[in-house]
Chain A
């Protein structure tokens, strides 16, 4: 059984927003933090931000500040990543990945031990 189920591929026009979901199918969502990581074509993986499943606390990369919103619904064990004002540079695969609980300064078990399968987001006019 896969640890996460992510929503399907998206095709968006420039300027639009996209919302991708990540359902924790195999563990207690509230005990961990879920992070979002982007892999753009030919680029290195890029950490975007994270949310604690339990308290909902979020932290965002400055690269996405103002455009990125991460939320969660504990009733369905799902985290959501919404990215606005899309450009072609946002084309890529978006992964969710798990660490332990995160405070403002650090995360428990800070390596990403389980990942979702990824969601392809394509931005094109």
Chain B
């Protein structure tokens, strides 16, 4: 299995801050990396596919980058609705999927 490691596990920030979350794969997954946002008690919501493709309807303050083993999700200016848990998903080794452990973004 491909292991996905996110950092940090939790993060405190303020509205307007720029934040970056990192996801590292245990082997080369090219750009087969997706990012999700999950609000408490809700299903995950797809934000970014193939490392850097913003899903239609997702605000442009979200961006993704990376390839190979190292990937980042950046939120350029935090809004109140962005405080949630974010996790990555590798789709290189389908039909087997592996998720990151999640990063909880909290209000400072």
Binding site for B on A (CB under 8 A): 35, 37, 44-47, 50, 59, 61, 95, 97, 99, 102, 104-107, 110-113, 115-118
Decide if B97 touches A44 in the complex (CB within 8 Å). no
- Supposing A111-B49, A111-B89, A112-B89 touch, asked if A118 and B97 sit within 8 A by C-beta, the answer is no
Binding site for A on B (CB under 8 A): 32, 34, 36, 42-46, 49-50, 55, 87, 89, 91, 94-102
A-B contact pairs, 10 of them (CB 8 A): A44-B87, A44-B100, A105-B95, A107-B94, A111-B34, A111-B50, A111-B89, A112-B44, A113-B55, A117-B43
Inter-chain CA distance A53–B84, complex, in Å, is 32
Q: What's the least CB distance linking A63 to chain B, in Å?
A: 9
Decide if A47 touches B91 in the complex (CB within 8 Å). no
Decide if A111 touches B46 in the complex (CB within 8 Å). yes
For residue B42, which residues in chain A have a CB less than 8 angstroms away from its CB?
117
Inter-chain CA distance A37–B91, complex, in Å, is 14
**Candidates A45, A97, A110, A116; contact of B32 at CB < 8 Å:** A110
For residue B101, which residues in chain A have a CB less than 8 angstroms away from its CB?
44
For residue B95, which residues in chain A have a CB less than 8 angstroms away from its CB?
50, 59, 102, 104-107
